[in-house]
């Protein structure tokens, strides 16, 4: 399922970081059943962030077991070495951190050359100004509202100001990127992220801790 046009209601992307890693096929099925459109893959290398998760083979093995678009979030020191693997595994969006790659324009273009949507993600301490030169080429900007590495953290409200700034720039310059918010999204914080202008909401712990996942997805969407 692809991305929607702007303003057509937010896309919900549950993160399997908060799922039971011994039952990822079940988690993928829960995401499909909940009505969420995307499956958010938090790839961590224990270097760029102090945690370690999974690689392209996990995505490839899950691909035939999920109807969701795979939204791959590379929190890794060397994104260039993983892009092809995730593209071949069936990713829809591949998002990396320009903080990890000096030649970010080249990395962004390499994702697009593989026929995938290219995203950039910024951590709480990175200002929007640092990625201004990449915005004309990006299909998605993922604003981290927690320090990356772990699920279950509290959203940092100040980070939502970057969402507003990105939406203003997109409108002024007529760019085409989606804005995603990632970290601490739950029943309490989703409205603020939507009001700031988010097109996509990533939710890990809120989703996998919810007894009724379809009801949570509706709540995050504002329905």
Sites of contact with Zn ion (CB under 5 A): 42, 73, 182
Say if residues 157 and 135 touch (Cβ distance below 8 Å). Answer: no
Alpha carbon distances (Å) from 215 to 89, 123, 133, 187, 220: 30, 29, 39, 10, 9
Instruction: Indicate which of Zn ion, ligand DX5, none lies near residue 153 (CB less than 5 to 8 Å, by partner kind).
Output: ligand DX5
Binds 210: which of Zn ion, ligand DX5, none (CB < 5-8 Å by kind):
none
Active-site residue, selected from the candidate residues 42, 71, 139, 199: 42
Closest Cα partner for 155 from 147, 163, 146? 146
Give min distance, CB of 53 to ligand DX5, in A.
Answer: 9
Which residue number, 22 or 168, has a Cβ lying nearer to ligand DX5? 22
Told to judge if 45 belongs to the known catalytic residues of this protein, a careful annotator would answer no
Shorter beta-carbon distance to ligand DX5: residue 151 or 197: 151
Between 85 and 152, whose beta carbon lies closer to ligand DX5?
152
CB 34 within 8 A of CB 9: no
Nearer to Zn ion, 104 or 180 (CB): 180
The CB-of-202 to Zn ion minimum distance in angstroms stands at: 5
Q: What is the bridge-based pairing of β-strands 38-44 and 178-182?
A: unpaired
In the numeric block, the tokens 């790839």 are attached to: 43
Residue 178, token pair as written in the block: 């989606």
Least distance to ligand DX5, CB of residue 192, Å: 14
* Torsion sign across C-alpha atoms 129, 130, 131, 134: positive
Closest by CA position to 141, among listed 210, 92, 199, 192: 199
Using alpha carbons only, give the angle 143, 144, 149 rounded to the nearest 5 degrees.
150
Residues that bind ligand DX5 (CB under 6 A): 15, 17-18, 40, 42, 73, 75, 146, 148-149, 151-153, 182-185, 202-206
Kindly name the residue from 45, 71, 139, 182 that is annotated as catalytic. Answer: 182
The minimum distance between CB 172 and Zn ion, in angstroms, equals 27
Residue 204 site contact among Zn ion, ligand DX5, none (CB < 5 to 8 Å, cut-off depends on kind): ligand DX5
Active site residue 212: no
Among all residues, which ones are annotated catalytic? Answer: 42, 182
């Amino acid at each position: 399922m692809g991305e929607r046009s702007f303003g057509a209601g937010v896309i919900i992307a549950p993160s399997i970081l908060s799922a039971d890693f011994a039952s990822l096929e079940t988690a993928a099925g829960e995401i499909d059943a909940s009505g969420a459109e995307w499956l958010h893959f938090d790839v961590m290398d224990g270097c760029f962030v102090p945690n370690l998760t999974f690689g392209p083979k996990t995505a490839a093995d899950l691909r035939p077991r999920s109807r969701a678009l795979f939204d791959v979030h590379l929190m890794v020191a060397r994104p260039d070495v993983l892009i092809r693997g995730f593209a071949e595994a069936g990713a829809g969006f591949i998002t990396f951190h320009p903080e990890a790659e000096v030649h970010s324009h080249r990395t962004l273009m390499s994702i697009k050359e593989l026929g995938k949507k290219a995203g950039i993600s910024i951590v709480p301490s990175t200002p929007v100004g640092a990625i201004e030169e990449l915005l004309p080429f990006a299909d998605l900007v993922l604003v981290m509202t927690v320090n990356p590495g772990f699920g279950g953290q509290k959203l940092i409200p100040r980070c939502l100001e970057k969402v507003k700034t990105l939406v203003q720039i997109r409108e002024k310059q007529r760019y085409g990127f989606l804005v995603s918010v990632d970290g601490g999204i739950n029943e309490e914080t989703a409205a603020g992220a939507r009001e700031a202008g988010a097109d996509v909401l990533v939710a890990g712990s809120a989703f996998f801790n919810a007894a009724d996942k379809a009801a949570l997805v509706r709540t995050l969407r504002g329905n």
